[in-house]
Chains A and B, each alone.
Chain A
Amino acid sequence: MKKVYPDAKSALDGVLFDGMFIAAGGFGLCGIPELLIAAIRDAGTKNLTIASNNAGVDGFGLGVLLQTRQVKKMISSYVGENAEFMRQYLSGELELEFNPQGTLAERMRAGGAGIPGFYTKTGVGTVIADGKEVKSFDGQDYILERGIVSDLSIVKAWKADPSGNLVFRKTARNFNCPAATCGRVCVAEVEEIVPLGALDPDKIHVPGIYVHRLIAGPHEKRIEQRTVRKRESA
């Protein structure tokens, strides 16, 4: 069982195909699998359906796959930072399925947990409920949402050990956990692969059973909105 690959290209070898469904971790540009996204761009895989909370920005994150027209459809909750996305969507070149953020996270979690559907009150009485089963529990209406199982999941963690156990840092965990679980194949990229035994088994965020392939590499980790406060003058 060898999970560690030398680079993103080799880690994706044999798992990419046109028309595939990919689930991606990340929130905004925080905790995005930037190395794997670049490798998918280089591979030229087309007609992708991608479930990801956001769509990156112009020229970074999933935005690079939009610029190369490799994406057929996005399943996202918020795409406000991406002008090219807006343009392609409003001109009808790109399909978009809006999911409420919590519904998208739970769809991934459920898919990975073998739960094909769940009822939620999120979106009841809105366009999100159109065409979905409505069921009343204890006098409250809920809609049926489906679990997601993707052909491939791409995630980014802070550290991993060679068995695929993943550890995240601060808010970079976000969608990476549920996305890692819902893929038939999950490829993870990390900043550092540490030796077996170097991670505290009590502090593993994603157990290695979910992770099939693993790479380490340098990350740009671009900041989307740099906000600071002034130091009090002495």
Chain B
Amino acid sequence: MAWDRNQMAARAAQELQDGWYVNLGIGIPTLVSNYIPEGVEVTLQSENGMLGMGPFPFEGEEDPDLINAGKQTITELPQTAYFDSAQSFAMIRGGKIAMAILGAMEVAENGDLANWMIPGKLVKGMGGAMDLVAGVGRVVVVMDHTSKHGESKVLKACTLPLTGKGVVNRIISNLGVLDVVPGGLRIVELADGVSEAELRAATEATIVN
């Protein structure tokens, strides 16, 4: 047993605080918006130039001029503001965004994050991820703890090209929640039905108490 995609997203939504401006990455992080706790008001930033991102449109109401950073059609809200890409990253780089929730290929115990390329294989690019991890107040990573082949993705040191150095604050995986602390990672929480021994066995990184 472990958390599925939606349970990971629901757990990540517990990180949100009332009044925050937040950027959600592509994939599981996008699902976080479905689980924003009652009474918590957050404004979602989309780095292609929008604050106040609304849900997907009803069929037939898609607008090619209104997309999120994953290029999906979305809608606006009464509080929405639009701006250009330079302005968008001015607010990211300038520390105005409280938190970013991103996916990861690898995370290391010192907070290093790799999520943008596999040399010789997968060349997609970093998009806005490098700017986000360098600029926002807090970085939460949502990821599967291990690869399809069962190898740990929570490592002593990243093997892939970095997105940011020492930037991750918290990891939410299918197995639990870990914080980056001096000396390694600290277990915050175990996923439903996951034992500490299982989490430790799936983690290459140093776990400290």
Residues of A at the B interface (CB closer than 8 Å) are 27-31, 53, 76-81, 86, 89-90, 96, 98, 100-106, 108-109, 120-128, 158, 168-178, 205, 221-231
Contact = CB atoms under 8 A, between A and B. Distances in A.
B92 A102 contact: yes
Contacts of B83: 173
A29 B65 CA distance: 9
Interface in B121-176: 123-131, 134-135, 161-166
Interface string B68-99: 11111110100000111111111011000000
Nearest to A180: B84
B39 interface: no
B128 A101 contact: yes
A31 B185 CA distance: 43
A176 B70 CA distance: 18
A81 B124 CA distance: 8
A120 to B, nearest CB: 7
A172 B83 CA distance: 9
A228 B126 contact: no
B205 interface: no
Interface residues of B, number: 54
Contacts of B69: 27
B48 interface: yes
13 contacts: A53-B85, A89-B123, A102-B93, A105-B86, A105-B88, A106-B89, A122-B93, A168-B84, A170-B82, A171-B65, A227-B57, A228-B56, A229-B57
Given A225-B71, A229-B57, 12 more contacts: A30-B48, A80-B124, A96-B123, A102-B92, A105-B89, A126-B164, A128-B126, A168-B84, A170-B65, A171-B67, A178-B84, A227-B72
B66 A120 contact: no
Contacts of A104: 85
B84 A80 contact: no
A102 B128 contact: yes
B65 A227 contact: no
B80 to A, nearest CB: 9
A109 B73 CA distance: 27
A171 B66 CA distance: 5
B57 A228 contact: yes
Contacts of A229: 55-58
Contact of B73 (A172, A174, A227): A227
